[in-house]
Chains A and B, each alone.
Chain A
Amino acid sequence: MIPEGALSLDGLVVAVILGMAVLTYLTKVGGLWILSHLEVSDRLEAGLSVLPGAIVIAILGPELASGGPAEWGAAAVVVVIAWRTDNILLALCGGVLAVVVFRGLG
């Protein structure tokens, strides 16, 4: 069932993978680590308070811009469901269903 060589681990490959793992972990903890070793002023706090929304929009903008009418329509479905019901699961299912249907129509 298990193909030949499936369990083989090459030394260099493992080293590269662990290098990626360490670097990725450093990016995940880096921002918070710096903040926890800084005296966070009210001014900096004000900047941090807009980060969640700003990151969300920075991810969504180009993501939706690269899509077409099917994705935009499905995005509208997600926003309406999330806004009216505040239920993330319902919004997710509605959006995925909508994108499949709209792509089928197009």
Chain B
Amino acid sequence: MVNRDESREDETEIPADETEPPEAETTVIQQESPVTFSLEGLRVGFLTCIPVALGVAGYGIAFGVIANQAGLSVAEATLMSATVVAGASQLIAVELWADPIPIAAILFATVAVNLRYSLMGAALEPWFRHLSPAKVYGSLFVMADENWALTIRDLQAGTGRGAFLLGSGLAIWSLWVFSTVVGALAGDAVGDPARFGFDFILAAVFLALAVDLWDGRSTLVPWLVALATALVASAYVPGRWYILLGGLAAALLEVIRYDS
């Protein structure tokens, strides 16, 4: 893991007039370990994500059941899981599903719920800038909340495994599609995923990531800004805009504070 405080201590040996802004040093250190796209990285990503993907499958079953009740065929529900690969927006879409299909409402909700992915993808830029466009834009197809979190955790540790997102995403994708088929075929026979604590897996993955990302006092202010913004926004703004707003508020503050 890149430790900003340690890197600062290393730099104190250099005469004061040669020191650069601390943020610039962090960037240089992040770039030190080369990012590669290997079969090994793909494998590690896939295996690391299996337990998380099993939890996601609990939601795939629930999605399949709801999609089936909404009138989608097994083939249609499966097609949606295989091509959209974004659980929350799929669940909302089948909740909105009616006859005739409210096309505009469904497409608008899809963008509104998934716009957070733009920010999450942007956060991968320091590592993904070393990879070819085909690898980057192929990997992003299978990016979901959970494997994004695992990938950031892995890349922050300096492993340089550029294929981790694709590997972990394939684990989620295959179980998501498979569990959709199971749910759509099983119909009402399946219970609530919360019964087994599956609903807590997302929070648990992000909590473990937060522990990893905590980097001392330099983290405190942006995190408090993100937290306050997200809590206020979640109370007043519908949907999942609060994620986007919380992330943007913290980044914007950091941009403004930069030269001070």
- Kindly supply a per-residue 1/0 record for chain A positions 73-106, scoring 1 wherever the CB is within 8 Å of any chain B CB and 0 otherwise: 0110011001100101101110111011001000
Could you tell me which residues of chain A, from 1 to 55, have a CB within 8 Å of some CB in chain B?
2-3, 5-10, 12-14, 16-21, 23-25, 27-32, 34-36, 40, 42-55
Inter-chain contact count A-B, CB under 8 Å?
Answer: 282
Please determine whether A23 and B227 come into contact, CB atoms closer than 8 angstroms: no
Inter-chain CA distance A96–B230, complex, in Å, is: 24
Contact of A75 among B106, B117, B207, B227 (CB under 8 A): B207
Inter-chain CA distance A7–B78, complex, in Å, is: 10
Contact of A88 among B150, B203, B222, B223 (CB under 8 A): B150
Please determine whether A32 and B124 come into contact, CB atoms closer than 8 angstroms: yes
Q: Give the distance to chain B from A64, nearest Cβ to Cβ, in Å.
A: 7
In the bound complex, residues from chain A placing their C-beta under 8 Å from that of B152 are 52
B91 within 8 A of A: no
Please determine whether A61 and B122 come into contact, CB atoms closer than 8 angstroms: no
Which residue in chain B gives the minimum CB-CB distance to A44? Answer: B255
In the bound complex, residues from chain A placing their C-beta under 8 Å from that of B111 are 23, 27
Please determine whether A29 and B84 come into contact, CB atoms closer than 8 angstroms: no
Inter-chain CA distance A89–B252, complex, in Å, is: 34
Please determine whether B210 and A17 come into contact, CB atoms closer than 8 angstroms: no
Inter-chain CA distance A74–B145, complex, in Å, is: 20
Size category, B interface: 35 or more
Please determine whether A58 and B85 come into contact, CB atoms closer than 8 angstroms: no
Q: Give the distance to chain B from A2, nearest Cβ to Cβ, in Å.
A: 8
| B contact residues vs A (CB 8 Å cutoff) | 21, 23-24, 26-27, 48, 51-52, 55, 72-76, 79-80, 83-86, 89-90, 93, 101, 103, 106-107, 110-111, 114-126, 128-129, 136-137, 140-141, 143, 145, 149-150, 152-153, 156, 184-185, 196-198, 200-215, 219, 222-223, 225-227, 229-231, 234, 242-247, 249-252, 254-255, 257-259
| A contact residues vs B (CB 8 Å cutoff) | 2-3, 5-10, 12-14, 16-21, 23-25, 27-32, 34-36, 40, 42-65, 67, 71, 74-75, 78-79, 82-83, 86, 88-89, 91-93, 95-97, 99-100, 103
Closest 9 CB pairs of A and B: A58-B246, A31-B118, A54-B250, A31-B122, A21-B83, A95-B204, A62-B234, A58-B230, A54-B226
